[in-house]
Amino acid sequence: MLSRTLRSARWAAPLRVTANSYATARRTVTTDAASAHAEKSAVPAEDDKQFTVSLSPESFENYKIDGPSTELSVSKNELKEMYLNMVTIRRMEMAADKLYKEKKIRGFCHLSTGQEAVAVGIERAITPEDQVITAYRCHGFALMRGASVKSIIGELLGRRDGIAFGKGGSMHMFCKGFYGGNGIVGAQVPVGAGIGFAMKYMGRKNTTFALYGDGASNQGQVFEAYNMAKLWDIPVIFACENNKYGMGTAANRSSALTEYYKRGQYIPGLKVNGMDVLAVKQASAWAKEYTTSGAGPMVMEFVTYRYGGHSMSDPGTTYRTREEVQRMRSTQDPIQGLKQKILDWGIVSEEDIKALEKQAKQMVDKEVKEAEEAPFPESSPGNLFEDIYVPGSEPDFMKGRTLEETHYYSKKA
């Protein structure tokens, strides 16, 4: 009797799995970077006048929630700016790649080529008063949050002009409203929940984006943060940048559930086409609205793709084919997608695009050159012992290794 029950259960299971996978296959989010649509006649002549763009209905997938509208209003200026931003990030990452291969950048370096739409789209949806915290693939976010190319590349090169004075490197970049670049996998997620809690505590109508990768999504602390955030209705958006590969492993080989937007279980989720900057903007704006309205946290998943390896020491072709990368590059590139759209809608001409690209390239080249020429930090105790405390709150002295190395903050070295 028991064996018959077991057997029938075993028979039932595959059927259910097939049905499920079929259902998800039908309802999956597109990764088409150029799926938005706008009537050319609806595009206004003025640069700053808003007009309506309709996104593909497959741009979002919702979990326990109604989700954002596919109607989005933007201005021509915004679109141009988004394009410029994405090209600038791409140029900067390429410059970092080159410097790394020239051995001028040492240590860790994780590039986000292919994922530019996420950083740009989020930034276009939030204000400087909102907060962002992310993992170590952080150059693009740092740039969007207001850091200069010079300070980012300078940081990679270990220069005094770097954003963390040359002490942090690729993983540790901070500026106002941006809590870094964090080196420990997944550790930024509970910190992000804490920042969100601070927003709630201070009564500010601001949200926090806590970004993490698909590789980090299986960390236990991510789920601890979910629990607390839901328990206290913290305005935080847990945003998983699913670039389909962790460090050397495909997402479906490392995660039992690859629908990361459903990972919140009791938290509503939203899956977004992370290759379309407009979809990212629309979803992020909606998520900000949702979380700051007091409804509690939200889980987002940006489906995106990275062209490079996980880090500089990963060729990136051992766990996926070069053809796959090239196919994504040629068909789903976020920059090419937006370029095609704004050309189609008559917002820019080919010459304008060339000019924008040239502008980005020249800006990046100039700042990279400046960063390369910038000095290394002086090896003085003053430099070593700074930044441990907020200026003005230091103790009288900090101990070094020996008595002579004791540093007195009052005597400015």
What are the residues whose beta carbons fall under 8 Å from the beta carbon of 312, sequence distance 6 or more?
Answer: 97, 100, 101, 108, 109, 110, 111
Is residue 259 at the binding interface for other proteins, with CB under 8 A as the rule? no
> In 3D, which of 41, 47, 168, 195 has the Cα closest to residue 108?
168
Q: Least distance to other proteins from the beta carbon of 158, Å?
A: 8
Q: From the CB of 147, what's the least distance to other proteins, in Å?
A: 19
Span near other proteins by CB under 8 A; candidates 79-87, 234-242, 262-270, 401-409: 401-409
CB 106 within 8 A of CB 303: no
| Cα 283 to Cα 21: distance, rounded to the nearest angstrom | 25
Q: Give the integer Cα–Cα distance in Å for 78 and 71.
A: 16
- Residue showing tokens 């070069």: 322
Closer by beta carbon to other proteins, 41 or else 402: 402
Angle between helices 220-231 and 188-201 (to 10 degrees): 10
Residue among 215, 210, 213, 242 nearest 229 (CA): 210
**Alpha carbon separation from 273 to 140, 280, 317 (Å, rounded):** 18, 7, 24
**Do the Cβ atoms of 31 and 332 come closer than 8 Å?**
yes
Please pick, from the candidates 161, 368, 374, 409, the single residue that binds other proteins as defined by CB under 8 A. Answer: 368
Residues 311-340 that bind other proteins (CB under 8 A): 312-313, 315, 317, 322, 325-326, 329-330
Smallest gap, in angstroms, from Cβ of residue 412 to other proteins?
9
Measured from the CB atom, the residue of 122 and 153 that comes closer to other proteins is 153
Q: Is 101 in the site for other proteins (CB under 8 A)?
A: yes
Question: Is there a contact between 171 and 108 (Cβ–Cβ < 8 Å)?
Answer: yes
Question: Closer to other proteins at the Cβ: 7 or 366?
Answer: 366
Q: How far is the CB of 153 from other proteins (least distance, A)?
A: 10
Query: 217 and 209 in contact (C-beta within 8 Å)?
Result: no
Q: How many residues at the interface with other proteins, by CB under 8 A?
A: 46
Among residues 238 and 385, whose Cβ is nearest to other proteins?
A: 385
Q: Which residue carries 């940081």 as its tokens? A: 155
Is residue 382 close enough to count as binding other proteins by CB under 8 A? yes
**Interface of this chain with other proteins, residues 274 to 313, rule: CB under 8 A:** 307, 312-313
Give the span between the Cα atoms of 83 and 338, in whole angstroms. Answer: 7
Q: Is 401 in the site for other proteins (CB under 8 A)?
A: yes
Choosing from 233, 352, 372, 386, the residue that interacts with other proteins (CB under 8 A) is 372
Q: Which single residue is written with the structure tokens 């799995």? A: 17
Write the interaction track for other proteins spanning residues 190-219; mark x where CB under 8 A is met and - where it is not.
------------------------------
Closest listed residue to residue 142, CA positions, set 152, 155, 130: 152
CB of residue 388 to other proteins, shortest distance in Å = 17
**Distance in Å, CB of 228 to other proteins, minimum:** 38
Out of 103, 350, 393, 399, point to the residue binding other proteins (CB under 8 A): 103
The smaller minimum CB distance to other proteins, of residues 7 and 101, is found at: 101
Q: For residues 337 and 333, what is the distance between their CA atoms, to the nearest angstrom?
A: 6
97: contact with other proteins by CB under 8 A: yes
Does 359 bind other proteins (CB under 8 A)? Our answer is no
| Residue list 155-194, contact with other proteins (CB under 8 A) | 157-158
Smallest separation, CB 82 to other proteins (Å): 20
Q: In this complex, which beta carbon is closest to other proteins, that of residue 58 or of residue 352?
A: 352
Q: How many CB atoms lie within 10 A of CB 38?
A: 22
Cα–Cα distance for residue pair 34/58, rounded to 1 Å:
12
Residues with Cβ within 8 Å of 307's Cβ and at least 6 positions away in sequence, in order, are 113, 114, 316, 325, 328, 329
Cα gap 100→107, rounded to integer Å: 9
Q: What is the DSSP letter of 399?
A: -
β-bridge partners, 301:
240, 271
Q: Is the Cβ of residue 145 or residue 310 nearer to other proteins in the bound state?
A: 310
- Minimum distance of other proteins from residue 92's CB (angstroms): 12
Taking the least distance from each CB to other proteins, the nearer of 37 and 327 is 327
Query: Which of 362, 387, 388, 389 forms a contact with other proteins (CB under 8 A)?
Result: 362
Among 379, 391, 393, 396, binds other proteins (CB under 8 A): 379
| Interacting residue ranges for other proteins, rule: CB under 8 A | 94-95, 97-98, 100-104, 106-107, 157-158, 307, 312-313, 315, 317, 322, 325-326, 329-330, 361-362, 365-366, 368-369, 372, 376, 378-382, 401-408, 411, 413
